[in-house]
Structure 1
Amino acid sequence: MFTILIPFLLFTAGVAFISWWYTRKTELTHSSIGYFLGGRNLSAILITASLLLTNLSTEHLVGLNGSAYAFGMEVMAWETLAALALVLMAVYFLPRYLKMGLVTITEFLELRYDKQTRVICSGLFLLLYITTLLPIVLYTGAISLESIFNVSENLNIDKFTAMIMMVVGIGILGSLYAILGGLKAVAISDLINGIGLIIGGSLIPILAFYKIGDGSFTTGVHTVFEAVPDRFNAVGESTSDVPFSVIFTGMFIPQIFYWTMNQSIIQRAFAAKNLAEGQKGVLLTAFFKIFIPFIVVVPGIIAFYYFKNSLNDPDYAYPELVKAVLPTSAIGIFAAIVVGAILSTFNGALNSASTLFSIDIYKGYIKQDASETEIVKFGKKSGTIMAIVSMIIAPFISMAGKGLYIILQEFSSIFNMPIFAIIIAGLLLPKVSAKAAKIGLIFGTILYLFSKFGLDAMGIHIHFLHRLAVAFFVTIITLIIASKYYPRKNNFIIQDTGAINVENWKYLKPACIFIAILTILVFVLLSPLGIIPKQ
């Protein structure tokens, strides 16, 4: 036990110390731009690390590997297709956002529509973070630690009590980064943990293949592939978790929303020192996302073979595989890396939630003349409250059933789709009005909820991504029709605030083309057209 625990504590403490050391003398926590955007001075490397680690956490390591254990390679679409969404971010969305000098995505909604629309969407974002994202990150992190450290057994307590203890511990540690250090501390810790996650995460499937192949990596790969070739097929059937058809319907909505509009993600790009640096960071992230399935999907397939489909809960596939293939001396360090991934997503989302609460609600409505110091102080207080609420919710997620990653995606869409619709309309349809946007938010939410619960009650079962696509297009049509009755007085034009240099990176086009081609090639390779035998 101590051979696992001591390396775990040393690595975790080391990351915390380095993050404190590099931010201890800065004044970044005394202004809103410094606290929430790291002084708008992040380099491409820091942006990439922060984007990857804010995105990758135990809902991927545990949840997505669990889905891969249950269904196979088809779930890689959630990761690989993100590369195309990031290309759109670099080419279209980021230049416009930085030109406007945004701190939050909801600022755009006020510029494009009105203040009420901004506050409504801020509320939806905050609900998403507090009730879904933050609790699921804490819960899946607790699953990993329970599996690795056997906390309930070693402390002679029941699993639910152990879950509460771990959720609180992770929540407090993550809160300290986000609340005390701001985005700069988050980004530095992300860089260290990101290196650890890429190296450590890659080692798990490599060591597993070596073990299965009795010391030969290629023999291990061949053995697993020959035993379960259908599990490596990225083209999902119509009855699967991710049918291939959803790639052409609703998959684009959560992908584009998450990588171009989700505050906890785009806040890292907003913090770029200039547009070119931001584009490099975003596209480097896209390159890594193409190959991330090796860390968050392939281990689930290996676990399916290794444990002979004997696990009762697929969400335990990854942590059980880690224990099976890692030497005891390395488990503690890997557990620290996993905790780093948990912390980075948790503290990143918490920092973004604090940003929305402080700037949109506190300064926007509660105290409009608030000073910079007051805004930051309120951000820390609101972050503390939101962290506590998410810690209270997290242990009860076990009651939601299995398939955590899909639960996260489907529940998030209640909030995401209506916001996605009005942002897309705001950018592409200059005549859509503020009243139409509010109608669209209400109608879109009700429509999606009906498509989920109403259709299910009638015995009509359609994949949620198909339903999401229909709800989105109907919401867009609603926005256009409503704008005919409540027209906008003048067309919206993006104004350049001069906040930073918005000159494009000179290699933007070739980099985007390369990433798009590489993404398509990966799908072709892992299909009946490539190495997968036809059924």
Structure 2
Amino acid sequence: MLLAGDGLRLNVGLLDYTLVAIYFVFVLGIGYMARTQVASSLDFFLSGRRLPAWVTGIAFVSANLGAVEIMGMSANGAQIGISTFHYYWIGAVPAMVFLGLVMMPFYYGSKVRSVPEFMRRRFGTGAHLVNALSFAVAQVLIAGVNLFLLATVINAVLGWPRWVSLVVAAAVVLTYTALGGLSAAIYNEVLQFFVILAALVPLTVIGLIKVGGWSGLKEKVIDTRKGDGSVTATVSDQLHTWPGQALSGFESPVWSVVGIVFGLGFVLSFGYWTTNFVEVQRAMASDSMSAARRAPIIGAIPKMFIPFVVVVPGMICAAVVGDMIHLKNSGATSDYTYNDAILLMMRDILPNGLLGVAVAGLIASFMAGMAANVSAFNTVFSYDLWQQYVVKDREDSYYIRVGQVATVAAVILAIGTATIAAGYSNLMDYLQTLFGFFNAPLFATFLLGMFWKRMTPTAGWVGLVSGTGAAIGVFLLQETGVIDLPGQGMPFVAASAAFVVDIVVSVLVSAVTAPKPVSELHGLVYSVTDRSTLQGDEDPTAPWYSRPVPLGILVLVLVAALSLVFR
């Protein structure tokens, strides 16, 4: 057993502080330099659409490499084991490839500045306003998660009160995002991606060495338990990805597979990756249609390997770190939760120097996640709410100032919503619930509207509202005890209900309302858009790795192979 120290305070030395300080200097320096590239609102909100595919591809995955990945997924690894891999191989990679091959041509080709703006062109102002408002609320809530975890790390490292840590962490993100806009966020996300890997790879390797490798880890895994002593996941559950009852929350193996494939793999995954402007914004900043299509596919390559340096450390912690075993034992009490898995690993196994790299990596991950939320929020607020409904037809510099003010407001609001995140012992439950509320119905509306020209503007906003209401209804039924969906069952069911209700309501409403003229749907609906428009500037003679379709096929083959090996 690895020796557990007293509390989560890390034994940080001068070298560690120096490494963290150097990282912050680079972060703020990038923000200052990116400021010189901001000459228009397009520069501030979409980097002038001039970034190469490899930059936007890395930023695409780095923007998601925040609270969900580092703390949330390691917590799930500690609690339920390798079935957490489904969040990547079933719940991310296929949707990222679909986004690149099928949906990015519509986003990029239509020259919209945001996902809600695409909704306005396809469905009108009703669906646009619903989408813009719900997205803005979601980003503030999710930014609060990243900020809460960033403050937790600073608290663990320096011992500062959490409220002080919240303010300091928020100030750093605010500074470089307000200075350089999306370019500052993207360039920092590229830097942060490599800093995060430099932190997580040694943590995983050293942890595996200490437990005797993969075979040694499998021998040390024990049943995980809830606070009441009941079993959350058996040893067998933790060492196999299928049928994944501990992940889905369903006792039936059949329903568990259905829940993971449909609820997570289709509704939640496609709903998040294909319609979430936080991710899509990075691809939209690319310098060409081909680059925009390749960006999410390039991001999918590291995405499929990230669970090995995020989920596996959580499993190591749950198996061998004393505090986590104390947490899991029946009837035990502990000050720690599964969210502390990564910090416990860092505290107990990393020497000085490497500890500084790990701390910088964690801070980088949370800053990347929060900056992504904030930069997406300021774009939607400025373009889709303020310019569309409040103050129209002002000079370009005016909307840059609005975006900067919106950035400040988003960070202040995130400080408040961080207190909500503090109330969840496993943040994946909280985040998946939010995705079910906001992304699942949006994906249903997008899917139907993009492939069915008969869908009407009225159906667009009515379907969105109905789908969101269905997800909230499932949540309230669960919270009031009317239904009992353990584990991840509630987010999966809520998302599935939102998707189905949205589709049904949209079809019914479309049957009794008038559609838009076909002449207004070019570039917005697949059946009435020229193939040349969808392919854009793609060169059919370019090497296979420079073309979206061959690259996407390779990624799908690789992820299928990984799924078979770790079944």
2:162 is the alignment partner of 1:163 = yes
Alignment map for 1:103-502 (pairs within 5 Å): 103-130=113-140, 132-147=141-156, 149=157, 151-152=159-160, 162-213=161-212, 220-228=213-221, 230=236, 231-241=238-248, 243-251=256-264, 252-307=266-321, 309-311=325-327, 312-399=336-423, 401-454=424-477, 457=480, 459-462=482-485, 463-464=489-490, 465-491=492-518, 493-495=521-523, 502=536
Q: What is the rounded CA distance, in whole Å, between the counterparts of 1:367 and 1:193 in structure 2?
A: 36
Structure 1 stretch 307-316 or stretch 82-91: which is displaced more? 307-316
Instruction: Evaluate the alpha carbon distance shift between residue 471 and residue 24 of structure 1 in structure 2; reply closer, same or farther with a 3 A threshold.
Output: closer
* 3-state secondary structure, aligned to 2:245: coil
- Post-superposition Cα deviations, 1:360-412, rounded to whole Å, max 9, x if no partner, equal 1111011111211001100101110121011122134322x311112111123
Residue number in structure 1 paired with 2:36: 25
Closer, same or farther: CA 304–2 of 1 in aligned 2, 3 Å: closer
Cα shift at 1:488: 1.0
1:434 shift after superposition: 1.2
Q: In structure 2, how many angstroms separate the alpha carbons of the residues matched to 1:31 and 1:268?
A: 18
Change (3 A) 1:289 1:33: same
Secondary structure at the aligned position of 1:291 is classed as coil
Contact (CA 8 Å) 1:80, 1:291: kept in 2 or not?
Answer: no
Aligned partners of 1:244, 1:489: CA distance in 2, in Å? Answer: 39
Equivalent residues of 2:437, 2:495 under 8 A apart: no
- Please, which of 11, 35, 39 is the counterpart of residue 23 of structure 2? 11
C-alpha distance in structure 1 between counterparts of 2:341 and 2:465, whole Å: 39
Give the residue type in structure 2 aligned to 1:444: G
Distance 1:362 1:194, change over 3 A: same
Per-residue deviation, 1:431: 0.9
Q: CA deviation at 1:241?
A: 4.5
Q: Find the aligned partners of 1:235 and 1:294 in 2 and give their Cα distance.
A: 17
Aligned partner letter, 2:277? Q
Q: Provide the rounded CA distance (Å) in 2 between the counterparts of 1:443 and 1:396.
A: 25
Amino acid at match of 1:222: S
- TM-score norm. by structure 1 comes to 0.90
8 Å contact 1:72–1:232 — kept in the other structure?
Answer: yes
Q: Which region of structure 1 is more displaced relative to structure 2, 365-374 or 509-518? A: 509-518
Are 1:73 and 1:297, in contact at CA under 8 Å, matched by a contact in 2? yes
Q: Percent identity?
A: 20
Inter-partner Cα distance in structure 2 for 1:193 and 1:340: 5
Distance in 1 (CA, whole Å) between partners of 2:18 and 2:533 is: 46
Deviation at 1:455, TM superposition (A): 5.3
2:123 partner letter: Y
Cα distance, 1:99 vs structure 2: 1.1
The residue type paired with residue 61 of structure 2 is L
Q: Does 248-257 or 294-303 show the bigger shift?
A: 248-257
Secondary structure at 1:431 match in 2: coil
Gaps of 5+ in 2: 1-11, 222-234, 250-255, 328-335, 524-528
RMSD: 2.2
Contact preservation (8 Å) 1:174, 1:343: yes
- In structure 2, the partner of 1:62 is 71
Q: Kindly report structure 1 stretches of 4+ aligned residues shifted beyond 6 Å.
A: 496-501
- 8 Å CA contact retained: 1:83, 1:289: yes
Partner-residue secondary structure (3-state), 1:39: helix
Return the alpha-carbon distance in structure 1 between the equivalents of residues 517 and 533 of structure 2: 25
Kept in 2: contact 1:106–1:118 (CA 8 A): yes
Asked if structure 2 preserves the Cα contact closer than 8 Å seen for 1:48 and 1:282, the reply is: yes
Contact 1:431 1:490 in 2 (8 A): no
Q: 1:9 to 1:489 in 2, by over 3 A?
A: closer
Structure 1 Cα separation of the partners of residues 449 and 354 of structure 2:
50
1:150, distance to aligned residue in structure 2 (A) = 5.0
